[in-house]
Structure 1
Amino acid sequence: MTDSKAMAGFDEPALSAGKRAILLISRLWAWVFLALMIVFFVVAVGVFSSATFLSVRNSQNILVAIVPVLLLGLGQTFVIIAAGIDLSVGWVMSLASVLSAHAIRAAFNAGVPLFLSVVLGFVAGVGGAALVGLVNGLIIAKLKVPAFIVTLGTSFIVRGMSLLFSENTTVIGLPEGIRDYGNESLFYWVRGEGGGFYILDKPEVSGELLRSMDRILAWPVVITAVVVLVCLFLLKRTQFGRHTYAIGGNMQAAL
C-alpha cells in the first residue's frame, strides 16, 4: 500500500503551474520590475512630453549622463552584497577625476603621446581611488569600526583632498583630443545619407547635415556595458563572487 501511494505521488507533478509561475517570478522579479518601469516611462513620456524626448540623440544624451552613476552603482553592488555600505563613493569619484585630469595634463605637457597620457591618467585616478578603498577596508576589517562611520568620515576627508588638488575650480589646460574619448561614438547615422562606423569612417558634415546626424552608442556607454558584463561574470561565475555572497549571508560562517 505504501509503495503504491509513493508511486502515485511520483507520477504527480512536483509543483502546480501556478506555483511554478510564482517561483519563476520570484527569481526574475528584478527584470520584471525593470521591464514594467521601462514600459511605464515610455508610455508616460509618449503621452505627456514632446516627440523629441524619445529621439535617438536625446536617448543617447541620457545614457551618457547616467554612466557615472551606473559605474558607482556597480562598485556599490559588491559592497552591499557583502553586507557593507560605502558613503564615500561620490567624493572618491571626484578625487579620482581630479587626479586623472592632473596626470593627463602633466604627462601631455611633458611630451607624452595623448593615448599614453590617458593611460597614465587612468592609472592615477584608479590608484588614488583604490588607496582610499584600502584605507577604508583596513579600518573596517582590522579595527572593527562600522562601515557607515568609517566611510562617512573618509568622505569628508576625500572631499577636502579633492577641493585642495583642484583648487576648488575646474581643471583646465587638458589636450584638445581628450574630448574624443568621452564624446565619440561607435556608429553614426545621417538622415537621408546613411551611416557607418564613426571611428573608421568619420563623416565630414556641417550645417544642416550636422544637425541631422545621430551618433549611436557613445564610447562611455559601450565601456560601461562591458564593465556590467564583467561584474556579472565575477558575481555569478567566479569564486570571488561566491565568497562575496557568503560574506553577506554570514560573515562568521564564511570566514
Structure 2
Amino acid sequence: MATRRLFKTVPKFTAYEVKLAELCAMDLWSGIDYETGEEMEVSDEEFLADFAIPFQLLRKNPKTNNQITEFSIRRLIRVGKIKAAYRSQEPTNFQSGIKTIVKKVIPVYDGWRNKTLKLTPIGYGERVTLDLGAGFVTNSKPSLNGNYRIALASRLLFFAVPDMLLFNFSNDLAESMLFQKRPQAAIPYFMEALQQGLLVNRTLFNKLELPPSKLLGTALWKRIKKFNWWQRRVLDLALMLHFGVVTARPALRTKARRLTAKPKKAKI
C-alpha cells in the first residue's frame, strides 16, 4: 500500500447538507440533472438495471445473452462526466474491461458473499476497483505506477455490485480532499475515509430511504437497500457539494432549507 498522505476527512454534515444531497440523489434516481433541472440521458435507477442485473446473471452463466455492454459503459462515461477515461496515451479497452468483470471481479464478489476470501470489507472493494481499473487498459502494469481507469471502474462497480462496500471515486473530489494524485494509490485511503464518513454521519444517514423502483426486481431492490447503497450515494453527493465540486440548483437549495428549518417558537 502506498505511503499515507494527510487528507481532509469527511465532515459531520448538517441536516441541511444531507437533505440537499438527498434531493440531488432523488433527481439522479429520476433522471434529472440536479444542477440544471434538465432531463438526463440515463437515470441512476436505469444504471442499476443496466449493470447490477447483468452482473448477477453473469455470475450464474458467463455466456448469458444479458451482458454488460460497451454501449452502457460509454453512456456511464457521458452521464458521469468521466472524461479522464479518454485522456490517455493508451486508449480505454472496453472489451478487456468487460472480460475482467467475469475473470476477476466476479470471483472476488463470490468470495465476499461466500466468505471464502480473508479480506476486510473495504479490502474487497479496493481489490475489484484496482483489478477492473487495470483491466480497462490493454498493457497496464501490476504496479501502482501502471495505467488504470479508477474513476470508471469505481463508477461501474458502484452500479454493478451495489451491495458491496464501494464508493464513487471522483478525481475532482479526491483532489479537493488532498488524496494522492494517482487514483490507484489514493483508492484505499479514499474508501477508508468514506467508510468512516458513514459512521460519523450515521444518525442522519440512517433516516434515508431508498426510493421504490419499477425496473429492479424485489429481491435485488431489497439487497441494495440492505447494504446501504442509497446512503453511500447521498454521501458521495454531500461530499461533492461540501467541497464545491458540484452545485445544486437554487430550487433544491431552497427546498432543503425549508425542509430542515427549525419551527419557530410561539410567542407567549
Larger C-alpha radius of gyration, 1 or 2?
A: 1
How does the TM-score come out when normalised to structure 2? 0.27
Q: Which structure dedicates a bigger proportion of its chain to helix? A: 1
How does the TM-score come out when normalised to structure 1? 0.28
